[in-house]
């Protein structure tokens, strides 16, 4: 029996997927996790906590301990006290300290004296090589995304969403061997997206709400991802035919408002585990493939605001009534 929870030909019911870690600000010594998002004061505190976890392993190089003061009369941040000699160049403390100082030097304005404008990312963050999760979403970061993230060999999740990053797609991020989750949505990134993104091991790809342009790479079907969201960009052209060969893990695909033309591929029925298909607000035309009836697990199917013929939609609605 074909079961559909939502089919929409008239409106777009979808909103951008929620942040996978809403209102979170955490650190993890075991996984080398760094979360910095929402209010920067809290974010900075979490960053310092993360640094402390790194510093703990290098206490043998310190004399008198490490003190951190956040706030005070001037909202100062002070790290140090009692360091009688520098740590060895290869120590974790040295690398983390270098990363922190490089980021600190990028501050251009701090009217409240609480480091509220750590507004750019610096390449020295890649010195924290033990990091496996890096979540910097929902801040006001600007500038370009550093290309040195490729030097984080254990990084599995990179979330830079809901910031003000600009420039081209950060291609070096695709060289992170273990990266599985890439979230760049809600920024000002532009230009084409590289073909290489669909030849990686990424399980989740969120590029929506940027200014990416050009055609969707023809090797889209090579991706093993379970979620692909390219909505609200400036793409053009057809849906790549290779999408019919997409892996069995694909659960959600969102191509909303990206100026797509042509037809929906006939092989759509091969996506038997698909739960969300939203191609609304495009220029798609022609007929709907009969194989769409094979989408047994579909929950949201949004074809609204395209150029499908009225007869086509009537026939589709009739078939849907037979399925249910």
128, 136, 174: which is closest to 152 by C-alpha? 128
> Phi, psi (5° rounding) for residue 323?
-65, -40
92-104 and 40-56 helices cross at what angle (nearest 10)?
Answer: 160
Residue 161: inside a domain, yes or no?
yes
Element (H, E) at 35: strand 33-35
Q: Which two tokens stand for residue 186?
A: 């809600």
Q: What integer is the mean pLDDT of 291-307?
A: 86
Give tens-digit pLDDT for 173-211: 999 999 999 999 999 999 999 999 999 999 999 999 999
How many domains is the chain partitioned into structurally? Answer: 1
Domain that holds residue 30: 6-40+120-323
Give tens-digit pLDDT for 109-150: 555 554 554 567 777 778 888 888 988 888 888 999 989 889
Residue 140: inside a domain, yes or no?
yes
Residue 148: inside a domain, yes or no?
yes
Q: Are 82 and 65 in contact (CB under 8 A)?
A: yes
Residue 85: inside a domain, yes or no?
no
Q: Are 158 and 173 in contact (CB under 8 A)?
A: yes
Residue 307: inside a domain, yes or no?
yes
pLDDT category of residue 56 using cuts at 50, 70 and 90: very low
Give tens-digit pLDDT for 226-249: 999 999 999 999 999 998 888 678
Residue 55: inside a domain, yes or no?
no
Residue 94: inside a domain, yes or no?
no
224, 219, 191, 222: which is closest to 207 by C-alpha? 191
Domain containing 278 — which CATH number? 3.80.10.10
Residue 101: inside a domain, yes or no?
no
């Amino acid at each position: 029996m074909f079961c559909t929870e939502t089919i929409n030909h008239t409106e777009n019911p979808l909103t951008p997927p929620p942040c996978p870690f809403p209102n979170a600000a955490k650190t993890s010594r075991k996984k080398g996790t760094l979360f910095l998002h929402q209010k920067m004061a809290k974010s900075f505190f979490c960053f310092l906590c993360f640094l402390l976890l790194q510093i703990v392993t290098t206490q043998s190089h310190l004399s008198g301990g490490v003190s951190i003061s956040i706030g005070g009369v001037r909202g100062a941040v002070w790290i140090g006290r009692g360091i009688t000699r520098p740590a060895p160049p290869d120590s974790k403390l040295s690398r983390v300290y270098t990363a922190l100082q490089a980021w600190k030097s990028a501050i251009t304005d701090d009217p409240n004296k609480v480091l509220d404008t750590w507004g750019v990312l610096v390449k020295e963050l890649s010195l924290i090589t033990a990091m496996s999760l890096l979540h910097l979403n929902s801040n006001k970061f600007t500038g370009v995304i550093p290309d040195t993230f490729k030097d984080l060999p254990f990084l599995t999740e990179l979330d830079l969403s809901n910031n003000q990053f600009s420039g081209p797609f950060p291609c070096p991020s695709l060289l992170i061997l273990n990266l599985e989750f890439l979230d760049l949505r809600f920024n000002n990134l532009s230009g084409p997206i590289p073909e290489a993104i669909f030849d990686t091991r990424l399980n989740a790809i969120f590029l929506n709400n940027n200014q990416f342009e050009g055609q969707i790479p023809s090797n889209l079907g090579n991706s093993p991802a379970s979620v692909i969201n390219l909505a609200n960009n400036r793409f053009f052209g057809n849906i790549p035919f290779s999408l019919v060969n997409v892996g069995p893990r694909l659960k959600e695909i969102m191509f909303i408002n990206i100026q797509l033309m042509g037809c929906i591929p006939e092989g759509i029925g091969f996506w038997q585990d698909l739960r969300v298909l939203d191609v609304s607000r495009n220029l798609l035309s022609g007929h709907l493939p009969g194989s769409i009836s094979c989408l047994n697990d579909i929950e949201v199917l949004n074809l609204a605001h395209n150029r499908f013929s009225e007869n086509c939609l009537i026939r589709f609605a009739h078939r849907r009534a037979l399925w249910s």
